[in-house]
Amino acid sequence: MRGGTGQLLAGRYRLTDRPEPLRALAVDDRTGESVLLRALELPPLLTGGQDPDGEVSAQADRLVRRVAAVGSAAPTRHPRLLRGVGAFVEGELLWTVEERPGAMTLADLVAAGPVPPYRAAELAADLAGALRALHEDGLVHGNLTAESVLVCEDGAAMLGGLLAGVAQEALAEDLGGPGGRRRYDVRATLVGPVAERWPLDGGPAGDCWALGVLVQRLVTGRSPFPDGGVPELVTAVRDGRREPSAVCGPLAPLVERLLQPDPSRRPTAEQVRRELSALLAGAPEPVDEEWAARALVPRPDGPLVPRRRGRGDRGGRGGQGKRGGRGGGQVEAAAGDGTGRPAEARPPRIPPALLGPLLVGGVFVLLVLGITAVVLFAG
């Protein structure tokens, strides 16, 4: 796509930055809202080979109406769903429009490194709630990927990409038919080797399968399936050839059930949300950053001094994790004094604020005793 800041699309969306290929940030001149535009290239047979200023062909117009219908049917006020604004065709591109608050994509977060399991559980719980809302309204998302999820400043995850996914599936069906090899080839070109987009089945169970793939990607930084190319990926999914879910730590049992080949054995989005809520309720409490840094001390070469277990000793769980600010990592607890804090951080027996008064009082007592002794001796 050519263009730059200030260019107006569909007589309404003004670009706010130089666009990336098939993607642009803009402001809706009618509402003043920030939006994200995603584009699909339409072959000449859908646009009639017309010039950019020509009228949209009937087939392209049908795609726009199909995408818009899903956007109208989707929940509009769910706190974890990005609102799809609509779609339009301009030139040989089909654009979908979605609200775009200030946030980073989950793909950017994963690119910085694996996400700790309890932080991944928080994000997954948000996404499960968004999927539940869609499923209750009879809709399927079909485009749950790290690129379609935003992570806001407060740490909450918001699910987008609904209209873009609908546009891709509709175009694949229009060009390749309802099924068969041709549709597979078109879809492979549009979607690429993204594991979350290739479940064995569709519907709500397919969305939950994609959530399982995404959770394992968050925790490990990679897909559980080989994703070098679409044929290799699809074959691995069909054969169940993937990295074991055990790498997901406390999330392993849930991920294992989400990735079951039999859709009837997978939990629903609501069941996933409830299970994650229970897991988070029993998660390790946040710890202070400075304490965590001090707790990571080298183990001494000599034998450790035995200590008795106190009420604060959790048998090794005391320093297990941190989730402050809906994020954070896990820390290892060093041996302490049974109170949950390392020995170096033990507070002094006398608070520093009392040292001065105690010293003055001691001097005063000694002075009184001295005077009393002199009087007694002189008398």
d(C-alpha 159, C-alpha 369), whole Å? 78
* Spatial contact of 161 and 143, defined as CB atoms under 8 Å apart: yes
pLDDT of residue 73: 94
Q: What angle do CA 155, 106, 322 make, to 5 degrees?
A: 45
With H, G, I as helix, E, B as strand and everything else as coil, classify residue 157.
Answer: strand
pLDDT of residue 179: 79
**How would CATH label the architecture of 19-281?**
Orthogonal Bundle (1.10)
CB-side neighbour CA atoms (13 Å) of 121:
26
34 DSSP assignment: E
Average pLDDT across each block of 10 residues of the chain; the chain has 379 residues. List them in order. Answer: 78 88 93 95 70 66 93 92 94 93 94 95 98 97 97 95 96 87 94 97 97 98 96 97 97 98 97 97 66 37 40 39 43 40 48 64 73 66
pLDDT of residue 191: 96
> Which residues, at least 6 apart from 57, have a Cβ–Cβ distance to it below 8 Å?
46, 47, 48, 50
Token pair for 229? 């190319």
Residue 189: its H or E element: helix 181-191
Domain ranges of the chain: 19-281
Task: Give φ, ψ of 151 to 5 degrees.
Answer: -115, 115
CB-side neighbour CA atoms (13 Å) of 91:
8
* Spatial contact of 40 and 21, defined as CB atoms under 8 Å apart: no
pLDDT of residue 367: 73
pLDDT of residue 289: 45
Token pair for 101? 């608050």
Q: What's the chain's length in residues?
A: 379
pLDDT of residue 299: 36
> Which residues, at least 6 apart from 73, have a Cβ–Cβ distance to it below 8 Å?
137, 138, 139
d(C-alpha 377, C-alpha 379), whole Å? 6
**Alpha-carbon 11 to chain mean position:** 34
Task: Give φ, ψ of 349 to 5 degrees.
Answer: -65, -35
**Closest to 150 measured CA to CA, from 136, 130, 170:** 130
pLDDT of residue 362: 74
Instruction: Give Dmax (Cα) for the chain.
Output: 125
pLDDT of residue 55: 58
**Closest to 333 measured CA to CA, from 293, 279, 367:** 293
Token pair for 250? 């406390």
* Spatial contact of 37 and 96, defined as CB atoms under 8 Å apart: yes
pTM over 0.85: no
